[in-house]
């Protein structure tokens, strides 16, 4: 409830607003007050709700402790752990949180008690548990009525949801067919507090990103899937080749191997991009039969190479 005066700039202070009460003093009913009327767009005194603030990008630096192996078990430190997930067919990635050990009620109560003690408020664990239980029930009861628990204590907003499709508009709603649920998000104060605490830790890469080769072009024969010794070649792929290996990186680059022979490394290239590699075939490849083509690269942030073997063995042109 809010008192008002004649020069009040509040846009809700207009004639015909059903929530405006005249008197000495006059007052305005607000959500939660007895007799409050929920206004609709176009009605006198209606003010559109403020949109939830958009999440700002975090500018905190990543922890330098980076590993190629995805983290499967919780590490229980103070960081927000995540894994990188390559997006197939692109050179982009998404991220996926690595959940840590669950926060259960006993720890929640103990942490709350410690925080209250620091504020000079004395409550027993039993009292904190009772408050938590009843507060949870009040929130759930409001959500069951379709009410939004907005910015509870400044930190959380909860709202009810439903969904699904039905064959008949006159269907009988049930718990099962309404797909009713609850969606929660952080309110502005909650976001600010979260941002003040979070630090990020990248654990590794999921999804097996590999330097996929989809086409091998032999420049001497102007044909695909063959090798002309000493001649030029071009490899193509879906933007996954990564950075060009250094000349002295003996485990990285292109490798050709025939039965009974020794792998031959191609480590020098006339051009290397995410989707194309240009170079020259070696002058000789020991062994017999067709040659297997293997590519090995090291993606930024990874500790081990990623490899790919071309699906077709390449015949040597006489």
Could you give the 3-state DSSP secondary structure of residue 200?
Answer: strand
Highest mean pLDDT out of 70-74, 82-86, 183-187: 183-187
Tell me how far CA of residue 63 lies from CA of 69, 98, 301, 303, in angstroms.
Answer: 15, 15, 11, 15
What is the reported pTM? 0.45
Q: Which of 242, 215, 209 is nearest to 88 (CA)?
A: 209
**Is residue 316 in some structural domain?**
no
**Is residue 317 in some structural domain?**
no
Which strand (E) or helix (H) includes residue 188? helix 188-197
Could you give the 3-state DSSP secondary structure of residue 20?
Answer: strand
> Based on the structure, what is the number of domains in the chain?
3
The residue segments making up the domain with residue 159 are: 80-205
Our CA angle for 156, 57, 60, nearest 5°, is 100
Q: End of a domain among 187, 205, 223?
A: 205
Task: Specify the CATH number for the domain of residue 230.
Answer: 2.70.50.70
Residue 158 has pLDDT above 80, yes or no: yes
- By DSSP bridging, strand 264-266 and strand 26-28 are unpaired
Supply the mean pLDDT for the chain: 83
Residue 314 near residue 227 (C-beta atoms within 8 A): yes
The model's pLDDT over 244-267, given as tens digits with 9 standing for 90+, comes to 998 888 999 999 999 999 999 998
Q: How confident is the model at residue 140 (pLDDT cuts 50, 70, 90)?
A: very high
pLDDT, position 248: 85
Tell me what the mean pLDDT of segment 100-105 comes to: 85
For residue 189, what are its two tokens?
């104060």
Highest mean pLDDT out of 11-20, 32-41, 205-214, 279-288: 279-288
């Amino acid at each position: 409830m809010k008192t008002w005066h004649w020069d009040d700039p509040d846009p809700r202070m207009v004639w015909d607003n059903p929530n405006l009460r005249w008197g000495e003093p006059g007052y305005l009913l607000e959500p939660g007050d007895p007799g409050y009327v929920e206004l609709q767009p176009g009605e006198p005194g209606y003010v559109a709700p403020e949109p939830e603030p958009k999440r700002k990008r975090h500018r905190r630096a990543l922890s330098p402790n980076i590993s190629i192996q995805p983290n499967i078990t919780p590490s229980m430190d103070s960081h927000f752990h995540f894994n990188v997930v390559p997006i197939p067919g692109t050179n982009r990635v998404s991220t996926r949180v690595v959940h840590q050990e669950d926060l259960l009620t006993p720890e929640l109560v103990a942490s709350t008690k410690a925080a209250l003690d620091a504020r000079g408020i004395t409550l027993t664990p039993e009292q904190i548990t009772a408050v938590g239980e009843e507060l949870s029930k009040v929130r759930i009861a409001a959500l069951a009525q379709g009410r939004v628990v907005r910015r509870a204590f400044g930190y959380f907003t909860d709202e009810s949801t439903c969904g699904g499709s039905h064959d008949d508009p006159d269907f009988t709603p049930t718990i099962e067919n309404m797909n009713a649920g609850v969606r929660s998000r952080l309110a502005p104060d909650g976001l600010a507090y979260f941002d003040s605490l979070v630090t990020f830790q990248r654990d590794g890469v999921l999804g097996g990103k590999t330097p996929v080769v989809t086409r091998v072009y032999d420049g001497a024969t102007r044909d695909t899937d063959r090798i002309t010794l000493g001649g030029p070649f071009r490899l193509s792929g879906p933007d996954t080749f990564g950075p060009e290996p250094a000349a002295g990186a003996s485990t990285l680059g292109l490798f050709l191997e025939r039965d009974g022979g020794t792998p031959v490394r191609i480590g020098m290239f006339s051009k290397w991009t995410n989707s194309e590699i240009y170079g020259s075939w070696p002058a000789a490849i020991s062994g017999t039969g067709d040659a297997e083509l293997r590519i090995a690269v090291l993606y930024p942030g990874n500790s081990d190479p990623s490899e790919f073997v071309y699906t077709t063995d390449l015949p040597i042109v006489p």
